[in-house]
Amino acid sequence: MSDVPILKETTRSSGREALRNNITAAMALAGAVRSTLGPRGMDKLLIDDEGRTMVTNDGVTVLESAKVEHPVAKMLINASTTQDQIARDGTTSAVLFSAELLQNAWELVLQGVHPSAIGRGYRIAEGMSREHLSSLTVEATASMQQQATQTSLSGKIHTAMQLHLAQLAHQAARAIQEDREGRVVADPTRVKILSQIGGQMTDSALITGLVLLKKRVRSTMPKRLKAGKIALIDGGLERKGLMSSVKLKVTNHGVLETFRQEERTMLLKQISHLEELGVTLLACKEGIDDDVHGALADAGIQSFRRVARADLDLLARGCGARLNMNVDALSDDDIGVFIESRSERINGQDRWTVDTEEGGATFIAKGSTNDTVGEVERCFGDALGVACQLLEEPVLLPGGGATQVALARHLRRQAESIPGREQLAVEAYADALEVIPRTLAENAGLDPLDTLLQVVAQQAKGGDGSHTVGVDVLAKQPANMMEQGIVEPLRITRQVLAGATEAALSVLRIDDVLWAKQDPTVPDMSPEND
């Protein structure tokens, strides 16, 4: 048999060595965001290749900004990104929980438990946890929804701003909610966010309607329009340019003037078409020819040009209009309606505000620096996502690690009835859940083990309703989270359980890692490439 290795250009690790290396990478990634969890979490200073800086407490922002090479670390980052997309919060918790599951699994592997048995036990534990969650929930009132939104901002920004942003996010979610087939739907993408440097963070405000930093093309056009019809053009109202391959040979000045006049006549016909459709508001993605500004003003059509495609899409959704490539192709079915359109100049900025029938809102983020404004935008985006999902699913769980401790206690009781080595995995899953209250206590300067034991003891002796006892990091002692207003949406915890468990199981199934060797590349300096 030949001694020549088949994978001679590949570095290979397998068995326990591969699992240990993968778990080490996961723990290193979790360590990078561990200190950001909770109201007492610390900030991270991020510096990119060009020297630009960002200070943030948002776990998913830290992870997505980092340059990570290890594939297992990338898997956990993907789980965190999915958590952010679905629940808008709990990204740090997902990474910590997943890494703790892997660490506990490693301890079982060292005791002789096969990864497959651990995976089966983790699946059993996840199912038990999801089933038990329903017994821990409460229906959310309007005030509780706002409290949950504020809880999602804990540690990301100062307390006064947390309350302010939570209120604005709650108002914005209410403004965009709609009923579809008997259920409430609130799409956060219908809220536009504008940045404005200057002033304090508490000057950030919410404006009902869609606000664009645009000025009408002519000052003689109406500043304010009441209810009317709107046309959206995914193009412009301009003279059509000639194709690059076409050449015109002009021998008479009058011919050129006639050609230009005919072009203007075609534009005026398009304006007449808008009048016939009853359009009083026009928005174009591209330009509007200067020669027809006056004609649009005479027709009473308030017009705006160079409107971004994303803003046109928002207008289309709010007004019930459809985008068209040119004015000539517009029909009655393409025309939308609006409640009011205002063109104003506020604080040195030209603003165009449109109130639509389908609702909509615009958040104006303010701050003294670019970094401050950026953090306000990120925090409001997270708060808005939480507020929207609470309108769709108004169900809450106690925060402060209370839910995780309650689930862990439940799993330990249920593990006694599970035969085989899966019982050890269920207990390991319960231990991993407690990483959340331990980390909250640690970041608040408390002893994590003593604090966890105090919470467990109070839940155990409290009887019914004791599952609401968690870590009050401000008072530095266990407390009733529901009474303190520290609550979080059910969707966040449910997604953390699903995402973190799946990520951990994906790593546990890996028993072989093959790294292809790459030789250093040399630029091709051949003459034909010069």
What is the spatial distance between Cα 129 and Cα 134, in angstroms, rounded to a whole number? 9
What is the spatial distance between Cα 144 and Cα 391, in angstroms, rounded to a whole number? 11
Judging by DSSP bridges, how do beta strands 340-346 and 224-225 pair with one another?
antiparallel
Structure tokens that stand for 308 in this block: 């971004």
Residue 58 annotated as catalytic? yes
Return the closest-CA partner of residue 471 out of 398, 383, 524, 386.
398
**Torsion sign, CA atoms 382, 383, 385, 389:** positive
Residue 91 annotated as catalytic? yes
Residue 519 annotated as catalytic? no
Catalytic-labelled residue, pool 36, 56, 58, 362: 58
The Cβ of residue 282 has, within 10 Å, a number of other Cβ atoms equal to: 26
**What single letter denotes the amino acid at residue 281?**
L
What is the spatial distance between Cα 97 and Cα 503, in angstroms, rounded to a whole number? 10
Catalytic-labelled residue, pool 382, 439, 451, 468: 382
**What single letter denotes the amino acid at residue 419?**
P
Catalytic-labelled residue, pool 92, 362, 451, 468: 92
Q: What is the CA 461 to chain-centroid distance, rounded?
A: 40
The Cβ of residue 436 has, within 10 Å, a number of other Cβ atoms equal to: 30
CA atoms within 13 A on the CB side of 283: 30
**What single letter denotes the amino acid at residue 120?**
R
Return the closest-CA partner of residue 232 out of 324, 300, 307.
324
Catalytic-labelled residue, pool 56, 61, 82, 91: 91
Judging by DSSP bridges, how do beta strands 279-284 and 210-212 pair with one another?
unpaired
What is the spatial distance between Cα 228 and Cα 137, in angstroms, rounded to a whole number? 46
What is the spatial distance between Cα 103 and Cα 205, in angstroms, rounded to a whole number? 45
Burial class (CB in 10 A: 0-12, 13-18, 19+), 287: middle
Phi-psi region of 364 (alpha: psi -120 to 50; beta: other; left: phi over 0): beta
Query: What's 228's DSSP letter?
Result: E
Name every residue whose Cβ is closer than 8 Å to that of residue 472 and which is 6 or more positions away in sequence. 400, 478, 479, 481, 484, 486
Active site residues: 58, 91-92, 382
